A = this chain, B = another copy of it.
Amino acid sequence: MAGYSIRKEDYIKRLRRIEGQVRGLQRMIDEDTYCIDVLTQISSTTKALQKVGLGLLDEHLHHCVKAAVAESDEAGNEKLDEAMVAIERLMKS
A positions within 8 Å CB-CB of B: 1-5, 8, 11-12, 15-16, 18-19, 22-23, 25-26, 29-30, 32-36, 38-40, 42-47, 49-50, 52-54, 56-62, 64-66, 69-70, 73, 76-77, 80, 82-84, 86-93
How many protomers of this protein does the assembly include? 4
Q: Determine the main DSSP class of A at the interface with B.
A: helix
- Could you say which of B25, B34, B43, B54 contacts A15, with CB atoms under 8 Å apart? B25
Of B1, B59, B84, B93, which is within 8 A of A50 by CB? B93
Across the interface, do A80 and B61 meet the contact criterion of CB distance under 8 Å? Answer: yes
Q: What CA separation (Å) do A54 and B1 show in the bound complex?
A: 28
Look across to chain B and name the residue whose beta carbon is closest to the beta carbon of A24.
Answer: B15
